[in-house]
Amino acid sequence: MASYDTKKFFEEVLANDDSLLFEVTNELITTGVLLGTNFPLLKGIYKAYRNEEEQFEHKPMVGAKLTVSFDHDTQRVVLDRQTSQVELTDEQFLQYMGKIDVAFAPIYPVGTTVELDESMLTEELAELFKKEELGAVVTLSGRKISLMSGFEQYIVDYLGHLWPYGEIPGNDPILISNMMIKRVIAESLTNEYEEAFAFDGLRTTQVTKQQVSTAYMKPEDTIAYFEVLSELSEQE
Protein backbone atom coordinates (compact mmCIF):
# COMPACT_ATOMS: atom_id res chain seq x y z
CA MET A 1 0.00 0.00 0.00
CA ALA A 2 1.15 3.54 -0.70
CA SER A 3 2.63 5.39 2.24
CA TYR A 4 1.62 8.90 3.25
CA ASP A 5 1.63 11.04 6.39
CA THR A 6 -1.57 9.63 7.88
CA LYS A 7 -1.77 12.05 10.83
CA LYS A 8 -1.37 15.07 8.59
CA PHE A 9 -3.87 13.66 6.11
CA PHE A 10 -6.40 12.97 8.89
CA GLU A 11 -6.04 16.55 10.12
CA GLU A 12 -6.65 17.78 6.56
CA VAL A 13 -9.71 15.55 6.24
CA LEU A 14 -11.21 17.19 9.32
CA ALA A 15 -10.05 20.73 8.57
CA ASN A 16 -11.47 20.77 5.04
CA ASP A 17 -14.88 19.28 5.85
CA ASP A 18 -17.65 21.83 6.42
CA SER A 19 -20.18 19.08 7.15
CA LEU A 20 -18.63 18.14 10.52
CA LEU A 21 -21.06 17.91 13.42
CA PHE A 22 -18.36 18.05 16.10
CA GLU A 23 -15.60 20.41 17.13
CA VAL A 24 -12.13 19.20 16.15
CA THR A 25 -9.91 18.98 19.23
CA ASN A 26 -6.42 17.65 19.91
CA GLU A 27 -8.01 14.80 21.85
CA LEU A 28 -10.12 13.72 18.88
CA ILE A 29 -7.15 13.96 16.53
CA THR A 30 -4.92 11.93 18.85
CA THR A 31 -7.59 9.27 19.42
CA GLY A 32 -8.39 9.20 15.71
CA VAL A 33 -4.75 8.50 14.84
CA LEU A 34 -4.65 5.78 17.50
CA LEU A 35 -7.70 4.05 16.04
CA GLY A 36 -6.79 4.61 12.41
CA THR A 37 -3.30 3.17 12.75
CA ASN A 38 -4.72 0.16 14.59
CA PHE A 39 -7.62 -0.69 12.29
CA PRO A 40 -8.71 -3.85 14.16
CA LEU A 41 -9.23 -1.57 17.18
CA LEU A 42 -11.47 0.72 15.13
CA LYS A 43 -13.44 -2.33 13.97
CA GLY A 44 -13.75 -3.58 17.54
CA ILE A 45 -15.27 -0.30 18.71
CA TYR A 46 -17.60 -0.16 15.73
CA LYS A 47 -18.72 -3.74 16.33
CA ALA A 48 -19.38 -3.03 20.01
CA TYR A 49 -21.50 -0.03 19.04
CA ARG A 50 -23.48 -1.97 16.42
CA ASN A 51 -24.06 -4.84 18.87
CA GLU A 52 -25.39 -2.30 21.39
CA GLU A 53 -22.81 -3.21 23.99
CA GLU A 54 -22.38 -0.83 26.91
CA GLN A 55 -18.59 -0.60 26.89
CA PHE A 56 -15.45 -1.39 24.95
CA GLU A 57 -11.99 -1.45 26.55
CA HIS A 58 -8.53 -1.48 25.02
CA LYS A 59 -5.56 -2.03 27.32
CA PRO A 60 -2.31 -1.63 25.36
CA MET A 61 1.03 -2.94 26.62
CA VAL A 62 2.27 0.65 26.61
CA GLY A 63 0.21 3.82 26.92
CA ALA A 64 -3.12 4.83 28.38
CA LYS A 65 -6.12 2.53 28.47
CA LEU A 66 -8.96 3.46 26.12
CA THR A 67 -12.52 2.99 27.32
CA VAL A 68 -15.47 3.69 25.05
CA SER A 69 -18.83 3.84 26.84
CA PHE A 70 -22.13 3.69 24.97
CA ASP A 71 -25.36 5.06 26.46
CA HIS A 72 -27.94 3.80 24.01
CA ASP A 73 -30.83 5.44 25.87
CA THR A 74 -29.44 8.97 25.62
CA GLN A 75 -27.58 8.18 22.37
CA ARG A 76 -24.25 9.41 23.64
CA VAL A 77 -20.72 7.97 23.47
CA VAL A 78 -17.80 8.75 25.79
CA LEU A 79 -14.19 8.19 24.70
CA ASP A 80 -11.98 8.01 27.81
CA ARG A 81 -8.19 7.73 27.53
CA GLN A 82 -7.54 8.37 31.25
CA THR A 83 -5.68 11.58 30.45
CA SER A 84 -8.60 12.98 28.41
CA GLN A 85 -12.30 12.41 27.91
CA VAL A 86 -14.57 13.34 25.01
CA GLU A 87 -18.34 12.99 24.80
CA LEU A 88 -20.15 12.75 21.47
CA THR A 89 -23.71 12.15 20.38
CA ASP A 90 -24.33 8.96 18.41
CA GLU A 91 -24.58 11.01 15.21
CA GLN A 92 -21.28 12.79 15.92
CA PHE A 93 -19.63 9.50 16.84
CA LEU A 94 -20.65 7.80 13.60
CA GLN A 95 -19.37 10.73 11.56
CA TYR A 96 -16.11 10.80 13.54
CA MET A 97 -15.57 7.08 12.99
CA GLY A 98 -16.39 7.56 9.32
CA LYS A 99 -13.74 10.24 8.94
CA ILE A 100 -11.14 7.99 10.58
CA ASP A 101 -12.14 5.28 8.12
CA VAL A 102 -11.74 7.68 5.17
CA ALA A 103 -8.23 8.70 6.22
CA PHE A 104 -6.78 5.37 7.31
CA ALA A 105 -8.64 2.38 5.85
CA PRO A 106 -6.60 0.36 3.35
CA ILE A 107 -7.94 0.41 -0.21
CA TYR A 108 -7.39 -3.06 -1.63
CA PRO A 109 -6.83 -3.59 -5.36
CA VAL A 110 -9.60 -5.03 -7.51
CA GLY A 111 -9.37 -8.83 -7.56
CA THR A 112 -8.45 -9.15 -3.89
CA THR A 113 -10.13 -12.09 -2.14
CA VAL A 114 -11.35 -11.50 1.42
CA GLU A 115 -13.29 -13.27 4.14
CA LEU A 116 -16.22 -11.32 5.56
CA ASP A 117 -17.14 -11.14 9.23
CA GLU A 118 -20.44 -13.04 9.26
CA SER A 119 -21.53 -11.34 12.48
CA MET A 120 -21.51 -8.00 10.62
CA LEU A 121 -23.69 -9.13 7.74
CA THR A 122 -27.39 -8.56 7.17
CA GLU A 123 -29.66 -11.54 7.77
CA GLU A 124 -30.11 -11.93 4.03
CA LEU A 125 -26.36 -12.04 3.37
CA ALA A 126 -25.68 -14.28 6.34
CA GLU A 127 -28.28 -16.72 5.03
CA LEU A 128 -26.64 -16.67 1.60
CA PHE A 129 -23.27 -17.68 3.03
CA LYS A 130 -24.76 -20.42 5.19
CA LYS A 131 -25.49 -22.23 1.94
CA GLU A 132 -21.86 -21.95 0.87
CA GLU A 133 -19.46 -24.59 2.17
CA LEU A 134 -16.58 -22.19 1.55
CA GLY A 135 -17.92 -19.59 3.99
CA ALA A 136 -18.15 -15.83 3.50
CA VAL A 137 -15.39 -15.54 0.90
CA VAL A 138 -15.71 -12.92 -1.84
CA THR A 139 -13.57 -11.35 -4.53
CA LEU A 140 -13.60 -7.55 -4.70
CA SER A 141 -14.71 -6.29 -8.10
CA GLY A 142 -15.36 -2.58 -7.58
CA ARG A 143 -14.30 0.23 -5.26
CA LYS A 144 -15.74 3.41 -3.77
CA ILE A 145 -19.17 3.50 -5.42
CA SER A 146 -21.43 6.47 -4.55
CA LEU A 147 -25.04 5.73 -3.64
CA MET A 148 -27.94 6.97 -5.75
CA SER A 149 -29.08 10.58 -5.98
CA GLY A 150 -30.26 11.83 -2.59
CA PHE A 151 -27.75 9.68 -0.74
CA GLU A 152 -24.52 10.79 -2.45
CA GLN A 153 -22.92 11.61 0.91
CA TYR A 154 -22.45 7.86 1.37
CA ILE A 155 -20.15 5.51 -0.49
CA VAL A 156 -19.95 1.73 -0.81
CA ASP A 157 -16.36 0.73 -0.09
CA TYR A 158 -16.39 -2.34 -2.34
CA LEU A 159 -18.51 -4.43 -4.63
CA GLY A 160 -17.84 -8.16 -4.39
CA HIS A 161 -18.83 -11.51 -5.86
CA LEU A 162 -18.82 -14.98 -4.37
CA TRP A 163 -15.47 -16.72 -4.71
CA PRO A 164 -14.67 -18.73 -6.78
CA TYR A 165 -17.71 -18.11 -9.00
CA GLY A 166 -17.24 -14.43 -9.80
CA GLU A 167 -19.97 -12.51 -11.58
CA ILE A 168 -23.03 -14.62 -12.44
CA PRO A 169 -25.81 -13.27 -14.69
CA GLY A 170 -28.87 -12.36 -12.63
CA ASN A 171 -26.92 -12.07 -9.36
CA ASP A 172 -26.32 -8.60 -7.95
CA PRO A 173 -22.89 -7.78 -6.49
CA ILE A 174 -22.48 -7.81 -2.73
CA LEU A 175 -22.11 -4.36 -1.14
CA ILE A 176 -19.16 -4.44 1.25
CA SER A 177 -17.90 -1.92 3.81
CA ASN A 178 -14.46 -1.91 5.40
CA MET A 179 -16.10 -2.90 8.68
CA MET A 180 -17.37 -6.14 7.11
CA ILE A 181 -13.92 -7.40 6.09
CA LYS A 182 -12.55 -9.94 8.56
CA ARG A 183 -9.28 -10.72 6.80
CA VAL A 184 -7.53 -10.61 3.45
CA ILE A 185 -7.00 -14.07 1.99
CA ALA A 186 -5.16 -13.07 -1.18
CA GLU A 187 -4.35 -9.51 -2.23
CA SER A 188 -4.45 -8.80 -5.96
CA LEU A 189 -1.83 -7.16 -8.16
CA THR A 190 -0.69 -3.67 -7.22
CA ASN A 191 2.03 -1.31 -8.38
CA GLU A 192 2.89 2.38 -8.17
CA TYR A 193 0.19 3.30 -10.70
CA GLU A 194 -2.53 1.37 -8.84
CA GLU A 195 -1.45 2.83 -5.50
CA ALA A 196 -1.48 6.35 -6.92
CA PHE A 197 -4.97 5.79 -8.34
CA ALA A 198 -6.21 4.38 -5.03
CA PHE A 199 -5.02 7.49 -3.20
CA ASP A 200 -5.52 10.29 -5.73
CA GLY A 201 -8.46 8.85 -7.63
CA LEU A 202 -10.39 7.13 -4.84
CA ARG A 203 -9.40 8.28 -1.35
CA THR A 204 -8.87 11.95 -2.21
CA THR A 205 -12.10 12.09 -4.23
CA GLN A 206 -14.02 10.65 -1.29
CA VAL A 207 -12.52 13.33 0.96
CA THR A 208 -13.27 16.12 -1.52
CA LYS A 209 -16.90 15.02 -1.80
CA GLN A 210 -17.11 14.73 2.01
CA GLN A 211 -18.41 11.18 1.76
CA VAL A 212 -18.36 8.48 4.42
CA SER A 213 -18.85 4.75 4.10
CA THR A 214 -22.34 3.27 4.28
CA ALA A 215 -21.13 1.60 7.48
CA TYR A 216 -21.63 4.97 9.18
CA MET A 217 -25.03 5.78 7.72
CA LYS A 218 -27.38 7.61 10.06
CA PRO A 219 -30.31 5.36 11.08
CA GLU A 220 -32.89 7.68 9.51
CA ASP A 221 -30.93 7.72 6.24
CA THR A 222 -30.71 3.92 6.27
CA ILE A 223 -34.48 3.65 6.64
CA ALA A 224 -35.07 6.21 3.88
CA TYR A 225 -32.61 4.49 1.56
CA PHE A 226 -34.24 1.08 1.89
CA GLU A 227 -37.67 2.63 1.42
CA VAL A 228 -36.49 4.07 -1.90
CA LEU A 229 -35.02 0.70 -2.90
CA SER A 230 -38.30 -1.00 -2.04
CA GLU A 231 -40.27 1.50 -4.14
CA LEU A 232 -37.92 1.02 -7.08
CA SER A 233 -38.23 -2.76 -6.77
CA GLU A 234 -42.04 -2.55 -6.86
CA GLN A 235 -41.87 -0.49 -10.05
CA GLU A 236 -39.87 -3.13 -11.90
Instruction: Report the pLDDT value the prediction gives residue 124, as an integer from 0 to 100.
Output: 83
Quickly state the pLDDT bin for 188 (edges 50, 70, 90).
Answer: very high
Residues 74 and 153 in one domain: no
Residues 109-137 have pLDDT tens digits of 999 999 999 999 888 888 888 776 778 99
What 3 state SS string does 31-90 have? HHHHHHCCHHHHHHHHHHHHCCCCEEEECCCCCCCEEEEEECCCCEEEEECCCCEEEEEH
d(CA 235, CA 72): 37
Indicate whether 2 pLDDT > 60.
Answer: no
Q: How many residues does the chain have?
A: 236
**What is the per-residue pLDDT across 57-75, written as a single tens digit (0 to 9) for each?**
999 888 789 999 999 999 9
- Regarding whether 148 and 87 lie in a shared domain, the answer is no
Same domain as 128, residue 80 = no
Contacts of 94 (CB under 8 A, 6+ apart): 216, 217, 218
Q: Which domain holds residue 149?
A: 113-217
Residues facing 159 on adjacent strands: 142, 175
Same domain, 59 and 83: yes
Q: How far is CA 153 from CA 113, 132, 146, 218, in A?
A: 27, 34, 8, 11
Domain stop point among 86, 104, 122 = 104
